[in-house]
């Protein structure tokens, strides 16, 4: 099952590239990719803002993992635009696509496996929640259904657009879903 890893953000709130921040000696992008790979979510398409990132990211990614690179047409357009742009490339060939972002370094292989095991047969997607927040950028989606219903011209947040579709929620520990946006999130 294919994954789409979003790595094209500015990281402006962090003031450094979140993908390359090390947690326990390993770069965030590597931690997420390793969890996806161990869960069988390959190939992994990494959506980036510019070609220059391939060199720096490749230095911290296990070269034996099947990676495909996708450069966003519009630099820093946003996650919805990147998701739609990439889904258009492979929606006809995939029943499911696992979304992920580089700023969730505590996500695990088990999380991705349980997400897949928990989706209901008629649902367009399943989103993880910690009971307080929904995490649409870690959703498991059916790309054909999503492309028909989510639009990049819509300014509503993705969590709202996804919530309007037939979906399930998967409850997960907040520590697994924690993302890093600010330096204090690393404490």
Cα 85 → chain centroid: 14
- Domain regions of the chain by residue span: 2-186
DSSP secondary structure letters along 114-159 = HHHHH--TT-SEEEEE-SS-B-GGG-EE-HHHHHHH--TT--S-HH
pLDDT digits (tens, 9 = 90+) for 85-143: 888 887 677 789 999 999 999 999 999 999 999 999 999 999 999 999 999 999 999 88
Please give the pLDDT value at position 149.
75
Confidence of residue 183 (pLDDT cuts 50, 70, 90): confident
Structure tokens at 132: 């307080």
Q: What is the CATH number of domain 2-186?
A: 3.90.550.10
pLDDT tens-digit profile of 16-53?
788 999 999 999 999 999 999 999 999 999 999 888 89
| Confidence band, pLDDT 50/70/90 cuts, at residue 14 | low
**Measured between alpha carbons, how far is residue 124 from residues 83, 96, 128 in Å?**
15, 9, 14
**What is the pLDDT at residue 92?**
72
pLDDT in tens, 146-172: 877 776 566 678 888 889 899 999 999
Q: Is the pLDDT of residue 77 over 60?
A: yes
Q: Mean pLDDT of all residues in the chain?
A: 89
Measured CA to CA, the distance from residue 67 to residue 60 in angstroms comes to 13
């Amino acid at each position: 099952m294919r994954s789409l890893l979003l790595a094209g953000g500015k990281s402006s709130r962090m003031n450094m590239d979140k993908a390359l921040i090390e947690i326990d000696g390993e770069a965030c992008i590597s931690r997420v990719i390793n969890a996806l790979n161990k869960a069988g979510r390959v190939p992994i398409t990494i959506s980036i803002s510019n070609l220059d990132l391939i060199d720096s990211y490749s230095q911290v990614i296990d070269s034996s993992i099947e990676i495909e690179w996708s450069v966003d047409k519009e630099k820093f357009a946003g996650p919805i635009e990147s998701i739609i742009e990439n889904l258009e490339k492979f929606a006809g060939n995939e029943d499911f696509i696992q979304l992920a972002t580089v700023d969730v370094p505590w996500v695990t292989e088990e999380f991705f496996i349980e997400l897949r095991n928990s989706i209901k047969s008629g649902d367009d997607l399943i989103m993880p929640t910690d009971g307080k927040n929904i995490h649409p950028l870690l959703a498991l989606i059916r790309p054909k259904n999503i492309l028909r219903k989510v639009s990049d011209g819509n300014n509503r947040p993705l969590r709202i657009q996804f919530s309007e579709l037939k979906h399930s929620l998967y409850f997960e520990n907040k520590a697994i879903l924690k993302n890093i946006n600010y330096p204090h999130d690393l404490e």
